[in-house]
Amino acid sequence: MADRGDLLARLPEPAAVAWVHRGEGLVGWGEAARITIPAGQDRFTAGEKWLRALLDGTYVSDQVGVPGSGLVAFGSFTFDAASEGSVLVVPRAVLGRGGGRAWFTTIGDGSDPLEPEAYRASVVPEARESNVMPEARINSTVRWHDGSLAAPRWERAVAAAVARIRAGGHDGLRKVVLARDIYATAADVIDVRVLLRRLAARYPDCNTFACAGLVGATPELLIRRQGGEISALVLAGTTPRGGDPAEDAALGTEILGSAKNAEEHEYAVASVRDVLGPLCDVLDVDSSPFLLRLANVQHLATSVKGCLRSAADRSALALAAALHPTAAVCGTPTDTAMEAIRELEGMDRGRYAGPVGWVDGQGNGEWGIALRCAEVDGRRARLFAGCGIVAGSDPAAELAEAQTKFRPMQYALDGLPGGPRAGRSLARLRRPQCRRTLGSTTA
């Protein structure tokens, strides 16, 4: 039997939502409620309004009382307000683990004769072996295709952005993040659970996520809210890992001393500080970046922590909305960078580089930026990678960086497959189109 603490191994079906970091977090399956928000609206406000209305018609019984228990919505929002496809999903079942506790919530109207025992059988210690996800495999034959811009054309787009930044001018563009995409076609339907498990095993320091077909492992925490306390991890500036400890250390020293990367990073930090500062009584921002070493890259990183002035008015989703888009994924000034992205990238990013994560009924939650990810549809996957472009950028070096950032999802697609307390968490949705919840918590 799989490790009882392995959240991802407990997913009973491929259609899943997930937010997992070092074995802790939330996974869910089924749909009790869902909204897909059209382009042209304030997608975050529309999502918050929908969620509040849903909560108003919900009966919640939650003996666990921790962030992520009770009713939880998982979400993934488009990078650009002009794009279609922002989504919030309330799963029928949520399994959580954190702080030495585990809990299980089911959400529905009580009419399903399989509730709650069929769900419970897939997660509790007494579960049969057959209820644990089998070691499904993705066929190793994966065909790769160019995306919207082939590599030479994307390099020319980078060169155009550098020229525009160096020329200055009335728009004052100082940084723009340019992304590219590639496509993969597998021989069989892609099982998102396999991608999640490969990513979580290889990149444990990232937040492994899935929501409505978007799956990935992001290193960047946009915002975490637990009561009145918030935190974020800002990343900008990237270099590969070395082939041995000496080369690895040399590359780390080089990026820490790089003026180009320092400039790129400071823009990202400033954009977060400028948003969160007015909302907090206290906001602590690292005075200088540190080196975050992941499996395949090293990033300049800055930690941000604060205490909200009025937590009741700012859910985790509302904070994510206020922060997006940061200079780490858009540029600076924001409006100018957004226009440059629309002009130069030659594609619609969809939900790539948008906020992805979860929020509960108390406004607690965690939202990252959808990086190192792919949109999965049947046998096909669309992968994304982006780079921050400033005056000192070199197109060939930026292309190499983008290719490095594709590797986590490439590995996930064609690589080798490589508690003590109990309580009760229950939420009933009174709205007829939703389902009431019967839930339980188990260690």
pLDDT bracket for residue 137 (50, 70, 90): low
Q: Of 442, 441, 433, 430, give the one whose Cα is nearest residue 60.
A: 430
Structure tokens at 27: 């996974």
Task: Select the more confidently predicted residue: 295 or 312.
Answer: 295
Residue type, 432: P
- The gap from C-alpha 251 to its chain's centroid, in whole angstroms, comes to 27
Residue 303 CB coordination number (10 Å): 15
The phi, psi pair for 368, rounded to 5°, reads: -110, 180
Helices (H), 277-425: 316-323, 334-344, 395-414
Q: Which residues pair with 237 in a beta bridge?
A: none
Looking at every residue in the chain, the average pLDDT score rounds to 85
Return all residues near 246 (Cβ < 8 A) that are at least 6 apart: none
DSSP reduced 3-state for 308: strand
pLDDT tens digits, 331-383 = 999 999 999 999 999 999 999 999 999 999 999 999 999 999 999 999 999 99
| Catalytic residue list contains 175 | yes
Average pLDDT score over residue span 284-297 = 90
Radius of gyration of the chain (CA): 21
Q: How far apart are CA 300 and CA 443, in angstroms?
A: 37
Q: Which residues pair with 224 in a beta bridge?
A: 231, 366
pLDDT bracket for residue 2 (50, 70, 90): very low
Q: How far apart are CA 59 and CA 436, in angstroms?
A: 8
pLDDT surpassing 60 at residue 172? yes
Residue type, 372: R
Helices (H), 10-116: 43-56
Q: Of 219, 332, 320, 223, give the one whose Cα is nearest residue 270.
A: 332
Q: Of 237, 239, 252, give the one whose Cα is nearest residue 300.
A: 237
- What pLDDT does residue 121 have? 53
pLDDT surpassing 60 at residue 98? yes
Task: Select the more confidently predicted residue: 64 or 425.
Answer: 64
The reported pTM is 0.87
Average pLDDT score over residue span 311-326 = 90
pLDDT surpassing 80 at residue 87? yes
Active-site choice (175, 366, 375, 401): 175
- What pLDDT does residue 376 have? 96
Average pLDDT score over residue span 85-97 = 95
241, 332 in Cβ contact below 8 A? no
Rounded to a whole number of angstroms, the distance between the first and last alpha carbons of the chain is 16
DSSP reduced 3-state for 6: coil
The phi, psi pair for 291, rounded to 5°, reads: -95, 120
DSSP reduced 3-state for 39: coil
- What pLDDT does residue 112 have? 59
The phi, psi pair for 286, rounded to 5°, reads: -50, 140
Q: How far apart are CA 35 and CA 342, in angstroms?
A: 26
Task: Select the more confidently predicted residue: 139 or 193.
Answer: 193
Active-site choice (48, 115, 220, 366): 220
- What pLDDT does residue 111 have? 62
Average pLDDT score over residue span 282-294 = 92
pLDDT tens digits, 225-256 = 999 999 999 988 888 888 899 998 999 999 99
Residue type, 226: Q
pLDDT tens digits, 19-50 = 999 999 999 999 999 999 998 779 999 999 99
For strand 380-389 and strand 175-186, is the pairing parallel, antiparallel, or unpaired? antiparallel
The phi, psi pair for 84, rounded to 5°, reads: -85, 155
Structure tokens at 440: 């339980």
pLDDT surpassing 80 at residue 386? yes
| Domains of the chain, start order | 1-135+417-443 (no CATH), 142-191+224-350+377-416 (3.60.120.10)
pLDDT surpassing 70 at residue 11? yes
- What pLDDT does residue 47 have? 94
Average pLDDT score over residue span 138-160 = 88
